[in-house]
Amino acid sequence: MPELPEVETIKRGLEKKVIGKKITGATVNLPKVINRPVAEFARLLKNTIIKKVARRAKILMLTLSNGHTLGIHLKISGRLLYLKKNSPVEKHTHVIFDLNNGHQIRFWDLRRFGYVKLMRSEEAVKELKLDEFGPEPLTKEFTLDIFKNLLNQRKNSRIKPLLMDQGFVAGIGNIYADEILFYARVHPLRPAGELSARETKDIFNGTKKILTTAVQKKGTTVDLYVDLSGRAGNYVNYLKAYGCEDKPCVRCGARIQRIKIGSRSAHFCPRCQKQ
End-to-end C-alpha distance for the chain, whole angstroms = 27
Q: Is 152 exposed, middle or buried (0-12, 13-18, 19+ CB in 10 A)?
A: exposed
Q: Which of 21, 129, 264, 271 is catalytic?
A: 264
What's the rounded Cα separation, in Å, for the pair 252 and 68? 53
Rounded (5°) CA angle 265-267-272: 150
Burial class (CB in 10 A: 0-12, 13-18, 19+), 141: exposed
CA-CA distances (angstroms) from residue 161 to 2, 128, 169, 174, 264?
Answer: 17, 22, 11, 9, 9
Active site residue 140: no
Among residues 179, 199, 189, 185, the alpha carbon closest in space to that of 239 is found at: 179
Give the active site residue among 17, 55, 58, 190.
Answer: 58
Point out the catalytic residue in the list 3, 6, 8, 136: 3
**31 assigned to active site:** no
Strand order in the sheet with 115-120: 78-84, 103-109, 93-99, 22-28, 48-56, 59-64, 68-73, 115-120
**Among this protein's residues, is 2 annotated catalytic?**
yes
- Measured CA to CA, the distance from residue 134 to residue 163 in angstroms comes to 10
Report the alpha-carbon distance of residue 206 to residue 176 in Å, rounded: 10
Residues labelled as active-site residues: 2-3, 58, 264
